[in-house]
Copies of this chain bind each other. A is one copy, B any other.
Amino acid sequence: MNTPKRRNTIQKKLVLDAVQSLKNHPTAEEVYRYILMTYKNISKGTVYRNLNMLVAEDVIKKVMVVDGADRFDHTITNHNHVKCENCGKVYDISSEAGDLEEKITSQDTEFLRKSGFTVSGYKIIFTGICPNCIKKCQ
């Protein structure tokens, strides 16, 4: 088996705590700045390393964003995202995701399998304007 021995360092805990506290899909930079407020000595490299570790361990998820820095999600359950084109914030679509899921996986992946692909998953992101920005822009 390949279970690399992992250590429980303070830094790793701080990174996980940060992602869980900053609920809105923070970037590595945001995680870094958040930790800095309480632990002045952390390095950005360590933040990146731990974020990647936590993703590899399936503790957090990397959210696909169209452009800009990667974002991280403390929720591991399947759901999709909307990115506001105005403020850049990324929101969850907690809703009827399940229904959508089935339709996507049953339909398009079936076509792919017929073409000889092995399908392992998909990523989807919506774009639009969030309620907050709509108010402001009126």
Contacts and interface: CB of A to CB of B under 8 A. Distances in A.
Nearest to A118: B129
Interface residues of A, number: 37
B134 A116 contact: yes
Contact of A125 (B109, B118, B123): B123
Contacts of A82: 112, 117, 119
A22 to B, nearest CB: 21
Nearest to A123: B125
A68 to B, nearest CB: 12
Interface string A87-114: 0000101011101100110011101100
Chain copies in the assembly?
2
B118 A108 contact: no
A39 interface: no
Contacts of A130: 116-117
Contacts of A97: 108
A80 interface: yes
A4 interface: no
For the complex of A and B, 3 pairs with smallest distance between CB atoms: A116-B131, A119-B128, A124-B124
